[in-house]
Every structure is written in C-alpha cells, then in structure tokens.
C-alpha cells in the first residue's frame, strides 16, 4: 500500500475504498496481487470477497427476508449488527411486507435497548416497532406461531392527533384521548431478546402481538398512582407501579415523539401506542392463562394455547 493510505468507509453501503496501490498477501505474506484503489466489502455479502461486488444493495431486503422467516434455533443474524440507518431500513422493509400482504399499521410499541456493544458504558435508548392489525389478539395466543413469546404489562394510549413533531411532556394530554391496560407480546426473531439497538430495531423491536382492555377516557385516568399486576393461572407473579415506565407513563408518549421525528416517522391520529413495560418479560407457555390488571384502568386476559 502507498505510504499514506486512506480508507473511506461508505456509511450507506458499508464498502471500504482504499487509496493507492494495495498488496494482497496470503497468511505467509506472499504477494497474491496488487490492486489500485480497491473497494472492499464491509457488509459481508459479497460473493467476491474481499472485493465489494455490489451485493450490499441487497442487504436490506435480504435481512428483512431472513428475519421474517426466522424460526427457533435458526439464528441467521447472530453477528448481524447493521448500522443504524440499515437497521431502520430493514424495519421499514418488514413493515412493507406486512402492508403488501394486506395488513394495516395500527400503531407502535415502545421498547428499550443498549446503544452499542462497543461502548465502554452503554446507555439505554428508546426504540420502537410497528404494530399491525394482524398482531391484535382477542383472548388467546397460539404459542407455536412464535419463537419465544414473552408478555409485558403496559399502558396503551390512543392517539387523538397526528404526531409529526416533538411533543413537550406538558402537551401529551392534547395528543391522547384514551388509555387502556395492555399485554404486549414480543418475540425476537433471534430467539432471545436483542439488547443492542441496531439488532432490535431491525427486528421491529420484537413486536409480535398485543391485546388491550376497554378504553378509558383520558380525563378519568390517573396513571401515576396505579400499579400493574401480572397473573398466571390466577397467581400473581409480578407487580410494579406504573411509574416503572420511564418514571411516568405519560412521558413515554413525549419521548416517543422525539424518536419518531429522529426516524422521519409520523403517527396518525387513531394510532395506538404501547408504552414500554412496567414489568419483566414473562415467557408464555401453552396451557396457561395470563392476565394483566391495572386497577382503576382495566384487566386483560390471554389464554396461551
């Protein structure tokens, strides 16, 4: 390689352009060939490695396909970690598949993940995944249709006004008409929860299924003082104050608005928002009856079959 080599990593494709004449050598250092300003593959998909052969263009679609078709014990994305922009593109691609199949986007779920496996002090960041009408349950869930379904107790908001800009916490009530108690079922295609943001975003934040109680008008709800309980076969397994949701569940809507704006996304009026969990994820096993109760808000039940 020349004395002052330069490397340009294309943030969109992942390809790496080196400048100058680059010697490719084998493990013993024997020269294989010299190439002037080669473009190398950084996405891992090239069929002509180490060169970039343009396969990165298929990246988004390929990983959206892989995630869509993943099944338990099939973990095609273990070393995945797409860049943030790619992760978002993959999520949008997955949504597009669902819309093409006739589903309708009905809202979003809020989730959390760590910013980076490479960071010395990883911080938690808010992510979101799209919910569609096909994910809505009535009173039962067929666990065989999922990989590792887990349920969380959440507050559900019905949005009364399009969210297209950042909302100040003091404005949240202007954007919410109703609230309900909900069970959010998340099911990461990797089989286990992905704790890092890029993988989690690419997998639509694990959004898989949901059910919620009757809507309660927002002026009748005092969420800050309520507690969520999770039951399995009528035995209480978990209880947590709703303040476990970002210190104040209303804040979830304000924080979500910021993330939506950063992602160039809007949420139409009439959408629903699952707040993020007050409790730990509970693995759903066939044969059990589950319930989430938020006294003063509602109770919702789910039979795992």
Taking the complex as a whole, how short is the minimal distance between the CB of residue 77 and ligand FES, in angstroms? Answer: 16
Question: Per this entry, what is the length of the chain?
Answer: 305
DSSP string, 111-172: EEEES-TT-SS--EEEEEEEEEGGGB-SSEE-GGGSSS-EEEEEEEEEE-S-B-SPPPGGGH
Q: By C-beta, is 49 or 214 nearer to ligand FES?
A: 49
Report the nearest approach of ligand FES to the CB of residue 24 (Å). Answer: 17
Contact between 67 and 188 under an 8 Å Cβ cutoff? The reply is no
Nearer to ligand FES, 40 or 221 (CB): 40
Please state the closest distance from residue 199 (CB atom) to ligand FES, in A.
19
Q: Which is nearer to ligand FES, 18 or 207 (CB)?
A: 18
Please tell me the distance from the alpha carbon of residue 83 to that of residue 145, in angstroms, as a whole number.
29
Residue 267's Cβ-count burial label (10 Å; 0-12, 13-18, 19+) is buried
Give the nearer residue to ligand FES in terms of CB position, either 46 or 275: 46
Question: Do residues 88 and 204 touch, judged by C-beta distance below 8 A?
Answer: no
Distance of CA 255 to the CA centre of its chain: 15
Q: How far is the CB of 78 from ligand FES (least distance, A)?
A: 18
Minimum CB distance to ligand FES smaller for 44 or for 268: 44
Q: Toward ligand FES, which CB reaches closer, 93 or 204?
A: 93
Which residues would be at the binding site for ligand FES (CB under 6 A)?
A: 13-15, 41-43, 45-46, 52-56
Q: How far is the CB of 202 from ligand FES (least distance, A)?
A: 17
Which of residues 52 and 181 has its CB atom nearest to ligand FES in the complex?
52
Name the token pair of 51. Answer: 């060169």
Closest approach of ligand FES to the CB of residue 31, in Å: 24
Considering only the C-alpha atoms of the chain, give the largest distance between any 2 of them, rounded to a whole number of Å. 76
Residue with tokens 């067929």: 142
Distance of closest approach, residue 12 Cβ to ligand FES, in angstroms: 10
Q: Which is nearer to ligand FES, 46 or 213 (CB)?
A: 46
Q: CA quadruple 54, 78, 265, 61: dihedral positive or negative?
A: positive
Q: How far apart are CA 301 and CA 305, in angstroms?
A: 13
Residue of 91, 96, 65, 106 lying closest to 210 (CA atoms):
106
Whole-angstrom distance, CA of residue 79 vs CA of residue 47:
18
φ/ψ (deg, to 5) at 108: -140, 160
Write down the least CB distance from residue 117 to ligand FES, Å: 21
């Amino acid at each position: 390689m020349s004395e002052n080599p330069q490397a340009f990593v294309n943030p969109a494709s992942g390809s790496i352009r080196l400048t100058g004449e680059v010697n490719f050598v084998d493990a013993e250092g024997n020269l294989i060939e010299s190439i002037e300003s080669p473009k190398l593959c950084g996405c891992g998909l090239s069929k002509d490695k180490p060169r970039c052969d343009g396969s990165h263009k298929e990246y988004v679609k390929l990983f959206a396909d892989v995630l869509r078709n993943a099944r338990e014990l099939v973990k095609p994305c273990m070393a995945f970690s797409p860049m943030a922009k790619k992760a978002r593109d993959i999520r949008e691609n997955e949504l597009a598949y669902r819309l093409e199949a006739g589903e309708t986007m009905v809202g979003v779920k809020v989730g959390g993940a760590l910013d980076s496996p490479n960071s010395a002090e990883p911080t938690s960041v808010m992510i979101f995944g799209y919910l569609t009408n096909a994910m809505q349950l009535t009173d039962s869930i067929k666990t065989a249709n999922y990989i590792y379904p887990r349920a969380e107790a959440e507050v559900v908001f019905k949005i009364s006004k399009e969210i297209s800009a950042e909302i100040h916490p003091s404005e949240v009530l202007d954007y919410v008409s109703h609230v309900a108690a909900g069970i959010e079922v998340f099911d990461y295609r990797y089989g286990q929860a992905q704790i890092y943001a890029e993988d989690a975003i690419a997998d639509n934040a694990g959004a898989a299924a949901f059910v919620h109680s009757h809507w309660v008008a927002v002026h009748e709800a005092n969420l800050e003082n309520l507690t969520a309980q999770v039951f399995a076969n009528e035995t209480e397994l978990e209880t947590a104050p709703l303040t476990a949701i970002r210190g104040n569940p209303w804040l979830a809507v304000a924080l979500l608005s910021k993330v939506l704006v950063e992602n160039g996304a809007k949420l139409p009026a009439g959408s629903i928002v699952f707040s993020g969990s007050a409790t730990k994820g509970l693995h759903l096993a066939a044969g059990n009856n589950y319930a989430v109760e938020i006294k003063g808000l509602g109770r919702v039940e789910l039979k795992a079959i």
